[in-house]
Structure 1
Amino acid sequence: MLTRQLISYCGSAKAVFTSHKGQLLKIPGIGQTLVQNMNPNQALQLAESILKQAEQQQVQLLFYTNPQYPARLKQIADAPCLLYYKGNADLNHAKIVSIVGTRQATDYGKRITEKIVSDLKKHNPVIVSGLAYGIDIFAHRAAVAAGLPTVGVMASGPDIIYPSVHRKTVEKMLESGGILTENTFGTKPDAPRFPARNRIIAGLGDCTIIVEAAIKGGALITADIANSYNKDVMAVPGNLDVKVSEGCNYLIKTNQAAIYTKLSDLEELLNWDEALAPAAVKHSKGLHLNAAEFEPEEWQIIELLHAHKEELMDNISWKVQIPVSRLASVLLGLEFKGVVKSLPGKKFALV
């Protein structure tokens, strides 16, 4: 957050180091200790070392101002400022699904994971998971088998594959997918880094699907984070007598996740079924809105709000790929036309 704050006020990373200390202290959230400890020479030496390692290991450095930085993550307040990415999958692909679950996966969990990924093939999404034992690695392997790009989000540096036994799977993933981390080279996968890793998994996906999960564990943390980001969460129901189904059943029972029983559940939730994108939308006052009567940008917004009832302005921005600065005027125009209404909390819905 402080990095974004500094660059936002100063205009560039270079300007941060060349600005007078008095100017920096006027920036909200920037204190005396931080300013005193800023050392341009030390920072440049570290940056040069990282750039050299990245070049040697074919790792891309994606700063949050980079066009290739995941747009979905830009909408999240605690998103990493810098990502280390190795691979060739598009991190801004039109459709991205995160699949996570317990490390103690059952045969049922494995089978359902493979079926979910196989069924998703018609949509050609990027499959995101965390490279862990159990459901995670089953999701990655199923994606490779289905010919889908898959990205593993790691709690270690880009040069440390953990668990190491998954190295061969990673090699296959790199052919059309990739590995992603916020941690620099040489970083070991210490325990606190896994919950932090989970927020990237939750932030990247249009939806996070929990296949099997105990009542406590990383999968439920990921679901909780996704919900806090206003992201869609789905859970696969499981056997009442099995511990690793307790988490999924709890999420469904408490309305923290929609139930996943078949692909159409996901398609309807995310409006991926082409049949749900009509050329005409019924207005709440009984009128019909026709695509021909609106600009393409306006109709994209109308379709989105028709499918999702209400949306945050930031979510509308990345889902229809219209910059917030431009989106504000488009939404205002739709309000004047009596089609869209603004709600508390920067949300919008059809009238």
Structure 2
Amino acid sequence: MTDRVVEEIAVADRESTLRWAIIGTGAISHHIAQDVTGLIGAELVAVASRNARRAGEFARLHGAAHAGSLSEVLRLGEVDVVYIATPHATHHEIARRALMAGKHVLIEKPATMDVAEAEDLRQLAQATHAFLMEAMWMKFNPAYRALIDFVQSGGIGAVRSVRASFGLPFPRDDSSRWNADLGGSALFDQGIYPLTLACDMLGAPTEITARGVREAGVDIAQHMTLEFGDGRYAQLASSMSEFVEPTAAVNGTDGWVEIPFPFWVATEFTTHLADPKTFLTSQTSQFEKQGNGYTPMLRAVQQAILDGAREHSLHTWNDTTAVLALLQSTATQITQNR
């Protein structure tokens, strides 16, 4: 390593409370703060923002004792873990600084803008013995876990295809969503969910064909077909300029599963299975939403850190880099073939 020597992170005592800091004061940060403060064994102690007024207002609203700049918050000894919820293009640098400051790190998706940045963070986390994870909350959602278990147990036979979309027209404002320099991208922000679902159900694709629409360096809509061999495929789409039905379906040889809007944080799914007497039977499985939907992930991360783990088995850093590589490949095609 060429960076300064870093101190090894001490594993928190199993009985202790983990103390959290949130970096960023956007809408997602408010949802995260509410779920952190509602979690047993967690305490929100600090918030960081480039805007001192916003940081102070956020801290007062959510009961955090400290508010300040990134540097000020990372110097706080009472912060154990940080949640990074800033524009995509800033994730890598902020995560680097947090790891160097001796913090465990949870990063809003996408964790970074490319695989090289992700690998850099992996090496630094290993050197500092820190927990590092991308906040792919969908994979911790109770309904999603039940869906995975059901499909993997052969509930719909062999999986043959996936259809998933996330298209919603967002306001054309001055947010980072529409800013190329800050990593604005419908593919990286929304398309990551359909792509993750497809990979969880079908594995790694052998081929991707993608087309999309770009404005001022930002991909605002895209659609893609992924091939997985033996005729298996996924048809995926995402958009921040128009509606594309934000639901999903997993299709197998014995039936299919429908996941309603919003599929990435759904509280139910409906199974349709072949039946020799009635042709088709349907059953809906329902699950309780926990907090704003981030609670299951935050709880799992907290327990993993207290157990001394450096990542979580439900979403490893290898999972993150695999999807990032597919996002990069897709983005290249969109740029070349639009």
Does TM, normalized by the shorter one, top 0.5? no
Normalised by the length of structure 2, the TM-score is 0.27
Which is strand-richer, 1 or 2? Answer: 2
Q: Which has the higher contact order (CA 8 A, sep 6+)?
A: 2
Higher radius of gyration, 1 or 2: 1
Normalised by the length of structure 1, the TM-score is 0.26
Which is helix-richer, 1 or 2? Answer: 1
